[in-house]
C-alpha cells in the first residue's frame, strides 16, 4: 500500500478518525443499536437511516484507510469482521456498505492524485460512497445504455440504473456510462445533485432494506473532474472484485449469526417441547438441543471460512506496495479462488442453518412477529448475486486444467 501521506491528510484527519483499537471498540455498541427493532423494520419496510447515521458518526467508514494516509490502518480482516458483526444485527446494513468499502479499497491501492486526496479527505470526514452500474433491460449483464454527453464546458448524464445498494444512505455515488465516443466511463457525484432520483423500488423477497432498486438520472450536470475511466481487469479492479464478493459472504454470515441468536432466544423465551417429547420444556429437549447445536456449528464454519478468505485478501493487498508483479498475480488468483471456494461451501451451510431454525419449535416459530424467515430470505437473496453453479465450475476447471480465465477477469463469475 502507499507509504507516504499527503500533508493535508496526515495530521488533523488522523485525529478525527482515532486509533484502530479505539475505533474497533465502538463496533459492539453500534451493533447493539442496529439490532434494536431489526425484525420490525423488515416487516414494516423501514429503511435503516438511523443505523447509517450512527455508523458515520462512529467514523467506521474510514476503517481501511492506512495510518500513512491519515486513517486507523485497519486490515481486510478487521473490516470483514466488522461486516459480519453488523450483519448479525441486520444483514441489510452490512450489505449496503459494500459500495463504500469497494470505493475506499480502490483509493488506498491507487496512486495519490489531487482528486484521490480529496476523496480520502471525504472518507476520513465520515462521508459514505454508494453507486449503481448495472441496468435492467439489457441483453447481457454489464451492458450500459446510460449516456454522458458533452454540454459546453460540462457534461450531462441521462439513464436509469439498478442495484443501487446503499446509495440512499450515501453522500456520493458513482455511475457508469458511455461517453460521446462510446467509451466506458465512471462519474462520481454528490447524491443530492439535481436530477438524481433514488427510487427505492427494490422488490426482492430479502435484503428489503438495502435500497437496492433504481436510480433515475435526468440531465444531471457532470463536471470534467468528476469523470474517470473504470476497469475491472486492472490489478486493483481484480482485487476489489474479490473483496466485493467476500463482503456479500460476510453479510450472509451475519444473517446466520442472527438466526442463531434469535433461535436461541426463542427457545429460552417461548418455545414448548413437542407433544410427543419426553422433555418437560424445549430447553432440555435433546432434539431441540441437537438442532441448535448444528446451527451453531454451521455459523462457526461459515465464519471460519470467511476469515480465511479475508486473510488471503490481506496478503494480496500488502503485495500492492511490493515490487514483485509475479507474487501479486499469484496472490490475486489465490484470493479469488479462496473466496470462490468459501462461497460455494458457506452458501450451503448458511441456507441449511437458516432453514433449521424453524425446527426449534412448532407453529409459533413461523410467527410474523418473530420474522425468523427474514434470515433465510436475506441469505437466499444475497446468494442470488452470485451464480454459484458457474462458480463451482470455474473452480473445477482450475483444478483439472489450470484454467484461470475467470479468476483474472475481475468480474462476478
Q: Domain check: are 222 and 322 in the same one?
A: no
Asked if pLDDT for residue 14 goes beyond 70, the answer is no
Q: Domain check: are 296 and 384 in the same one?
A: yes
CA–CA gap between residue 22 and residue 167 (Å, rounded): 28
- φ/ψ (deg, to 5) at 142: 95, -15
pLDDT tens digit string along 101-115? 999 999 999 877 888
Compare 219 and 11 and report the one with higher pLDDT. Answer: 219
Q: Over the chain, what is the mean pLDDT?
A: 92
SS3 at position 176: strand
Asked if pLDDT for residue 231 goes beyond 80, the answer is no
pLDDT tens digit string along 388-398? 999 999 999 99
pLDDT of residue 5: 35
Q: Domain check: are 159 and 79 in the same one?
A: no
Instruction: At 201, list the grid cell.
Output: 423500488
Instruction: At 189, list the grid cell.
Output: 457525484
Query: Within 13 A of 271's CA, how many CA atoms are on the CB side?
Result: 29
Query: Is residue 140, in this structure, part of any structural domain at all?
Result: no
Strand partners, 196: 217
Q: Domain check: are 321 and 364 in the same one?
A: yes
Q: Domain check: are 381 and 291 in the same one?
A: yes
Cβ burial of 52 (10 Å; 0-12, 13-18, 19+) is: buried
pLDDT of residue 9: 40
Q: What is the dihedral of CA 87, 90, 94, 97, to 10 degrees?
A: -170
Yes or no: say if 359 and 282 are a contact pair by the CB < 8 Å rule. no
> Quick one: what percent of the chain has pLDDT higher than 90?
84
Yes or no: say if 249 and 385 are a contact pair by the CB < 8 Å rule. no
Please compute the mean of the pLDDT values over residues 29-38 and round it to a whole number.
Answer: 98
Query: Is residue 199, in this structure, part of any structural domain at all?
Result: yes
pLDDT tens digit string along 337-346? 999 999 999 9
pLDDT of residue 69: 93
Instruction: At 272, list the grid cell.
Output: 414448548
Asked if pLDDT for residue 279 goes beyond 60, the answer is yes
> Quick one: what percent of the chain has pLDDT higher than 70?
95
Q: Domain check: are 213 and 323 in the same one?
A: no
Query: Is residue 262, in this structure, part of any structural domain at all?
Result: yes
Pairing mode of beta strands 129-132, 227-229: unpaired
CATH of the domain at 29: 1.10.540.10
Query: Is residue 312, in this structure, part of any structural domain at all?
Result: yes
Q: Domain check: are 64 and 213 in the same one?
A: no
| Domain end point (choices 229, 248, 280) | 229
> Which of 52-56, 86-90, 254-258, 384-388 has the lowest average pLDDT?
384-388
Q: Domain check: are 272 and 243 in the same one?
A: yes
pLDDT of residue 3: 35
Q: How far is CA 175 from the centre of its chain?
A: 17
pLDDT of residue 17: 65
Yes or no: say if 90 and 48 are a contact pair by the CB < 8 Å rule. yes
Query: Is residue 287, in this structure, part of any structural domain at all?
Result: yes
Asked if pLDDT for residue 238 goes beyond 70, the answer is yes
Q: Domain check: are 341 and 276 in the same one?
A: yes
Please compute the mean of the pLDDT values over residues 65-86 and round it to a whole number.
Answer: 97
Query: Is residue 3, in this structure, part of any structural domain at all?
Result: no
Q: Domain check: are 296 and 267 in the same one?
A: yes
Query: Is residue 44, in this structure, part of any structural domain at all?
Result: yes
Of the pLDDT bands very low, low, confident and very high (cuts 50, 70, 90), residue 16 is low
CATH of the domain at 374: 1.20.140.10
CATH of the domain at 162: 2.40.110.10
Residues in the chain: 413
Q: Domain check: are 102 and 176 in the same one?
A: no
pLDDT tens digit string along 155-198? 999 999 999 999 999 999 999 999 999 999 999 999 999 999 99
Structural domain including 316 reads 235-401
Q: Domain check: are 284 and 397 in the same one?
A: yes
Please compute the mean of the pLDDT values over residues 305-318 and round it to a whole number.
Answer: 98
| Domain end point (choices 229, 257, 292) | 229
pLDDT tens digit string along 359-379? 999 889 999 999 999 999 999
Query: Is residue 64, in this structure, part of any structural domain at all?
Result: yes
**How many domains in the chain?**
3
Distances (CA, A) of 24 to 62, 243, 308: 11, 20, 20
| Domain end point (choices 229, 252, 284) | 229
pLDDT of residue 276: 77
Amino acid at each position: 500500500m502507499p507509504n507516504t501521506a499527503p500533508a493535508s491528510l496526515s495530521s488533523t484527519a488522523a485525529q478525527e478518525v482515532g486509533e484502530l483499537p479505539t475505533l474497533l471498540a465502538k463496533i459492539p455498541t453500534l451493533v447493539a443499536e442496529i439490532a434494536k427493532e431489526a425484525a420490525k423494520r423488515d416487516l414494516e419496510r423501514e429503511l435503516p437511516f438511523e443505523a447509517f447515521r450512527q455508523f458515520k458518526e462512529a467514523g467506521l467508514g474510514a476503517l481501511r484507510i492506512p495510518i500513512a494516509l491519515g486513517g486507523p490502518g485497519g486490515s481486510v480482516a478487521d473490516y470483514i469482521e466488522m461486516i459480519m458483526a453488523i450483519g448479525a444485527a441486520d444483514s441489510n446494513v452490512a450489505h449496503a456498505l459494500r459500495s463504500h468499502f469497494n470505493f475506499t479499497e480502490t483509493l488506498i491501492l491507487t496512486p495519490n492524485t489531487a482528486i484521490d486526496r480529496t476523496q480520502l479527505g471525504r472518507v476520513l470526514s465520515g462521508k459514505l460512497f454508494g453507486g449503481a452500474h448495472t441496468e435492467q433491460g439489457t441483453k447481457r449483464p454489464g451492458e450500459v445504455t446510460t449516456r454522458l454527453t458533452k454540454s459546453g464546458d460540462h457534461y450531462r448524464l441521462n439513464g436509469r440504473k439498478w442495484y443501487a445498494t446503499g446509495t440512499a444512505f450515501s453522500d456520493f455515488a458513482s455511475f457508469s456510462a458511455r461517453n460521446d465516443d462510446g467509451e466506458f466511463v465512471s462519474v462520481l457525484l454528490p447524491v443530492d445533485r439535481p436530477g438524481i432520483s433514488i427510487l427505492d423500488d427494490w422488490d426482492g423477497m430479502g435484503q428489503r432494506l438495502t435500497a437496492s432498486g433504481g436510480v433515475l438520472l435526468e440531465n444531471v450536470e457532470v463536471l470534467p473532474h468528476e469523470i474517470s475511466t473504470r476497469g475491472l481487469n486492472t490489478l486493483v479492479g481484480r482485487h476489489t472484485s474479490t473483496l466485493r464478493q467476500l463482503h456479500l459472504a460476510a453479510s450472509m454470515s451475519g444473517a446466520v449469526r442472527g438466526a442463531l441468536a434469535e433461535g436461541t432466544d426463542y427457545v429460552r423465551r417461548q418455545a414448548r417441547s413437542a407433544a410427543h417429547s419426553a422433555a418437560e420444556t424445549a430447553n432440555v429437549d435433546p432434539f431441540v438441543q441437537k438442532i441448535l447445536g448444528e446451527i451453531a456449528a454451521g455459523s462457526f464454519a461459515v465464519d471460519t471460512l470467511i476469515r480465511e478468505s479475508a486473510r488471503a485478501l490481506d496478503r494480496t493487498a500488502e503485495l500492492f506496495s511490493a515490487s514483485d508483479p509475479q507474487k501479486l498475480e499469484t496472490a490475486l488468483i489465490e484470493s479469488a479462488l479462496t473466496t470462490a471456494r468459501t462461497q460455494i461451501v458457506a452458501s450451503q451451510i448458511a441456507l441449511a442453518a437458516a432453514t433449521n431454525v424453524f425446527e426449534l419449535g412448532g407453529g409459533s416459530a413461523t410467527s410474523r412477529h418473530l420474522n425468523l424467515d427474514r434470515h433465510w430470505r436475506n441469505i437466499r437473496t444475497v446468494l442470488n448475486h452470485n451464480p454459484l453453479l458457474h462458480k463451482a465450475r470455474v473452480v473445477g476447471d482450475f483444478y483439472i486444467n489450470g484454467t484461470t480465465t475467470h479468476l483474472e477477469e475481475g468480474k462476478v463469475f
